[in-house]
């Protein structure tokens, strides 16, 4: 199963969204909640290898 990426403007929104998904009983196992900075950092890490 493929991961779904969700770009969020900041980390605090990430935790708020995770909390709401948990309380609603949603299946969020395959979600990658990242900020644009985290996504860029991860991409550069793969290039540097």
- CA 34, CA 11: separation in Å to the nearest integer? 8
Angle formed at CA 40 by CA 48 and CA 10, multiple of 5 degrees: 145
pLDDT tens column, 1-49: 788 889 999 988 988 988 888 888 877 778 889 999 999 998 888 887 7
Burial (Cβ within 10 Å: 0-12, 13-18, ≥19) of residue 34: middle
Residue 33 gets which letter from DSSP? E
List all residues 6 or more positions away from 46 whose beta carbon is below 8 Å from its beta carbon.
Answer: none
Domain range annotation of the chain: 4-48
């Amino acid at each position: 199963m493929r991961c779904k990426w969700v770009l969020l403007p900041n980390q605090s929104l990430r935790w708020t969204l995770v909390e709401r998904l948990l309380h609603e009983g949603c299946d969020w196992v395959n979600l990658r909640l990242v900020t644009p900075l985290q996504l860029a950092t991860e991409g550069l890490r793969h290039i540097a290898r």
